[in-house]
Amino acid sequence: MNDIYKSEGTTLESLRNLLNILGKPFRPGDRIGIKLHWGERGNKNFLHPMYARQIAAWLKDAGMRPFVFDTTVLYSGGRREAAESLKTAAEHGFTEEYLGCPVLIGDGMDGRDVIDIPGIRRHFDTVQVAGIIPKTDGFVFLSHFKGHMEASFGGAIKNMSMGMASRAQKQRMHADAYPVLIPDKCIRCGVCKEVCPVGAATLPEEGYPVYDLEKCIGCAQCIALCPQSALKIFWETDISVFQEKLVETAASIWKIIASNAIFINALIQVVTECDCVPGNHPKIAEDFGFIGGYHPVAVDEESIKTVGADKFDNAHPFIPWRRQFSYASEIGFAPRVNQQ
């Protein structure tokens, strides 16, 4: 099913209306994972937990057993380790008590509960993903639709791809990106050194910071957090390769979960940056509400159309985000869309 549904308004009623139209491709007793991003520590734009709570209640009403989850990340901050990530989740209101369902880390408390699944065999022969996937009967992807430094936009594709990938797979996707310093802008504050998770960024006693590209894992944390915007991304390969890897990982996961998943993009607080980046980021569009469907590519395409492609082109010039859609077509991961 490739139908797309829209529900205008940011209220719980608006979300509930969309959920009721989408229906549940699940059975009573099924264990359903609600995949979302609970926001990096210090981020002000993440989706309020009331939406996840509403989805959990909707599932429980029909006898399903929901839980909310995310996976550990590459960069330092409040979500790198599982225990720290759950603490950040709780600080942002994502607790079992409030949501009415458990809050879990999909790749395990030590980040090692992962499995290898077949890849599409262009960039990846196999793709490593969170071990929670085969232990779950169905998924609801609740994605905050907004900008992203490397993908231009983040929605359903990214939530399923980067959001369900193991840390190793995240690194494989990011591997071609490195920081490049714009010396005139640097004030030697040391933030890049402080946030680098692998010690690749150093600040000598004199002069500018140095980035050891042998050690660098391309997480882009230094670029995102530099207060002077003194770092830009250098892509060792064509920047389109990141878009392709993102889509290819999503497509590999899709092959496993396609018949048991629904996707909801929340076009609320559509800001320039991902919820991984601390701070309150500029809005690029008015709140719309919710867009839902059964295919992540279709839901993201409609979300882009609704917000306006120019908004993403302006927020992140030079990111070839359209390659995500053309690549999805090339590898047989694109739907035919019927609009409602």
* Site residues, ligand SF4 (CB under 6 A): 179, 181, 186-192, 195-196, 198, 200-201, 209, 211, 216-222, 226, 228, 230-231
3-state DSSP assignment of residue 106: coil
Residue closer to ligand SF4 (CB basis): 33 or 218: 218
Q: How far is the CB of 92 from ligand SF4 (least distance, A)?
A: 23
Residue closer to ligand SF4 (CB basis): 278 or 289: 278
Residue closer to ligand SF4 (CB basis): 116 or 176: 176
Q: How far is the CB of 244 from ligand SF4 (least distance, A)?
A: 20
Residues 6+ apart with CB under 8 A from 140: 32, 33, 34, 35, 55, 59, 66, 261, 262, 263, 264
Q: Give the Cα-Cα-Cα angle 325, 330, 336 (nearest 5 degrees).
A: 60
User: For residue 214, with 0-12 CB atoms within 10 Å meaning exposed, 13-18 middle and 19 or more buried, which class applies?
Assistant: exposed
Among 120, 146, 181, 143, which Cα is nearest to 34's? 143
Q: How far is the CB of 149 from ligand SF4 (least distance, A)?
A: 11
Residue closer to ligand SF4 (CB basis): 98 or 234: 234
Sign of the four-CA dihedral 38, 44, 45, 49:
positive
How far apart, in whole angstroms, are the C-alpha atoms of residue 173 and residue 274? 17
Residue closer to ligand SF4 (CB basis): 228 or 314: 228
Residue closer to ligand SF4 (CB basis): 117 or 186: 186
Q: How far is the CB of 314 from ligand SF4 (least distance, A)?
A: 23
Q: Looking at 13-162, which runs of residues are DSSP E strands?
A: 31-35, 65-70, 103-105, 114-118, 126-130, 138-144, 146-148, 152-154
Residue closer to ligand SF4 (CB basis): 37 or 80: 80
Q: How far is the CB of 40 from ligand SF4 (least distance, A)?
A: 14
Q: How far is the CB of 223 from ligand SF4 (least distance, A)?
A: 6
For residue 273, give the DSSP letter: S
Among 123, 65, 79, 85, which Cα is nearest to 245's? 123
Q: How far is the CB of 205 from ligand SF4 (least distance, A)?
A: 13
